[in-house]
């Protein structure tokens, strides 16, 4: 089976990292196309041995990308196209249909009640998503919560398949040596109380609440890994409260081999920032303030590292009985409550917890097997590949006038295709729906 994965970008992010992890496990010949940025995750995927093509899309409405993508799919001889993230799902489904590939699977990684991929949902975004969803074979939801949201959008139940995000738990196993080494590299006292967070620095993640809570706790350090438009605001907030030396905004960080945290950064990682496993080893408590998550991958990784976790929303664990996730506590992401919870944990000296049962549920091998089942069903249901239109047979006509050449069908964009730009999201409204079972 030859599969083309189409993703909006390959900068550091949860969906991008999840794709790389899945590619290592899928028993299929895979290639990847990124519409926009070709960042550090693209480098990692190439290093793993999977080809990556950068399509060079210049903007959200760059329709020139559509014929380029169509031509690439048609010429590649792919059995199935798998799209990831909003823009790639819209363009990828159209391009696959034009190229004659009828087995098309899309994964919905980041659909919240009020936002999609950190940006506010608008009527135009929702309408275009639903229209192009009908061109595919199946839509994969990363959690039961996302599946319920898709059903509310009108996606038919038989087209929805739940394949959870997953991790390689052994990568996050706590190591005291790594803990000391990372703190030394970052200039943090070995005996300091360290709070951490991981994610894109966008309004929906509510990291301003975490920063402000830590500024109220004397001597407490915060490790915040991620990039995004709110980074400068968070830096100014920390300085405004006189805590700039305790709030460490680390930028984009990879989920690479834990050995880097001890051995030092290699040539392709020149700064002193360790990877996610190393940062988790250095923390005492992990916080995820977002109230509108599609899965909660960072929370799951923190639990695999034996950390106490405070979170606002995490379908990965909210959908399970509480005994599956000891050490995880749901809170309202307001500064006073978060600061109080952190103060209590600091006073009790939380220590490390055993890895909870929930971690074993989300094993990458299990999710890869489930995804292959979706692929096989899509291929079985798809009609045969469209064959290129054959030219009409030549006939002898007196003095024929040569007709104007007809452009190949796949080379032109369909009319009235426009991709609305999701507007930046404010904090999700408190009246948003919640499907939590806890």
For residue 125, the tally of other CB atoms under 10 A from its CB is: 19
Tell how strand 115-116 and strand 119-120 pair up. Answer: antiparallel
pLDDT digits (tens, 9 = 90+) for 312-365: 999 989 888 888 888 999 999 899 999 999 999 999 987 899 999 999 889 999
CB 252 within 8 A of CB 9: no
Tokens describing residue 12: 């550091």
CB of 295 closer than 8 Å to CB of 112: no
Average pLDDT over residues 44-57: 93
pLDDT at residue 246 in the model: 97
- Which tokens hold the place of 59? 């903007």
Query: Which letter, b or e, does each residue of 75-85 get, where b requires 16 or more Cβ atoms within 10 Å of its Cβ?
Result: ebebbbbbbbb
CA nearest to 142, candidates 34, 296, 363: 296
Render pLDDT for 286-305 as a digit per residue (tens, 0 to 9): 999 998 888 889 999 999 99
Q: Above 90 in pLDDT, residue 110?
A: no
Q: What is the pLDDT of residues 7-23, one digit of tens each?
A: 998 887 788 989 999 99
Query: What tokens appear for 354 in the block?
Result: 């055993």
- b/e code 48-58 from CB counts within 10 Å (16+ = b): eebebbebebe
Q: Is the pLDDT of residue 62 over 60?
A: yes
Give the pLDDT mean for 182-192.
Answer: 95
CA distance 164 to 363: 9
Please compute the mean of the pLDDT values over residues 222-226 and round it to a whole number.
Answer: 95
pLDDT for residue 426 is more than 90: no
Distance, first Cα to last Cα, the chain? 41
Which tokens in the block code for residue 165?
């995000």
Tokens of 37: 């940025």
**Could you give the CA distance from residue 181 to residue 278 in angstroms, rounded to a whole number?**
9
**What are 113-163's pLDDT values in tens digits?**
766 766 677 787 788 888 889 999 999 999 898 999 899 888 999 999 999
Token pair for 66: 């559509």
| CB contact at 8 A, 298 and 321 | no
What average pLDDT score do residues 41-47 get?
92
How far is Cα of residue 387 from the mean position of the Cα atoms in its chain?
A: 35
Beta bridge partners of 314: none
Q: CA distances (Å), 176 to each of 242, 345, 406, in order?
A: 30, 20, 67
**pLDDT score of 255:** 61
H-assigned helices in 225-267? 231-240, 260-263
């Amino acid at each position: 089976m030859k599969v083309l994965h189409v993703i909006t970008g390959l900068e550091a992010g949860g969906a991008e990292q999840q794709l790389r992890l899945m590619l290592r496990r899928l028993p299929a010949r895979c290639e990847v196309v990124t519409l926009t940025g070709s960042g550090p995750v693209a480098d990692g995927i190439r290093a793993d041995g999977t080809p990556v093509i950068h399509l060079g899309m210049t903007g959200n409405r760059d329709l020139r990308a559509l014929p380029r993508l169509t031509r690439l799919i048609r010429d590649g001889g792919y059995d199935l196209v798998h799209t990831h993230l909003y823009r790639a799902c819209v363009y990828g489904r159209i391009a696959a249909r034009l190229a004659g590939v009828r087995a098309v699977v899309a994964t919905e990684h980041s659909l919240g009640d009020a936002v999609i991929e950190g940006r506010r949902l608008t009527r135009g975004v929702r309408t275009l998503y639903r229209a192009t969803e009908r061109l595919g074979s199946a839509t994969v939801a990363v959690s039961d919560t996302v599946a319920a949201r898709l059903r509310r959008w009108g996606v038919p139940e038989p087209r929805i398949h739940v394949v959870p995000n997953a991790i390689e738990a052994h990568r996050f196993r706590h190591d005291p040596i790594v803990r000391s080494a990372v703190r030394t590299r970052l200039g943090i006292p070995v005996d300091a109380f360290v709070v951490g967070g991981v994610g894109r620095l966008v309004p929906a993640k509510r990291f301003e609440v975490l920063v402000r809570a830590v500024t109220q706790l004397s001597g407490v350090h915060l490790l915040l890994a991620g990039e995004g438009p709110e980074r400068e605001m968070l830096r100014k907030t920390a300085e405004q409260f006189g805590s700039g030396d305790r709030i460490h905004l680390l930028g984009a960080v990879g989920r690479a081999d834990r050995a880097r945290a001890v051995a030092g950064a290699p040539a392709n990682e020149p700064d002193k920032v360790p990877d996610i496993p190393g940062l988790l080893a250095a923390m005492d408590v992990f916080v995820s303030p977002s109230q509108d998550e599609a899965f909660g991958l960072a929370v799951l990784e923190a639990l695999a590292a034996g950390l106490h976790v405070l979170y606002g929303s995490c379908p990965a664990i909210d959908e399970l009985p509480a005994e599956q996730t000891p050490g995880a506590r749901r809170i309202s992401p307001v500064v006073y409550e978060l600061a109080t919870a952190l103060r209590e944990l600091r006073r009790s000296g939380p220590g490390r917890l055993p890895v909870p049962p929930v971690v074993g549920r989300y094993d990458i091998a299990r999710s890869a097997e489930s995804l292959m089942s979706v692929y096989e069903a899509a291929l079985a249901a798809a009609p045969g590949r469209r064959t290129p239109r054959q030219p009409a047979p030549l006939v002898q006509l007196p003095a024929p006038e040569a007709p104007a050449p007809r452009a190949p069908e796949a080379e032109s964009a369909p009319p009235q295709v426009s991709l609305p730009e999701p507007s930046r999201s404010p904090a999700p409204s408190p009246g948003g729906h919640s499907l939590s079972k806890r």
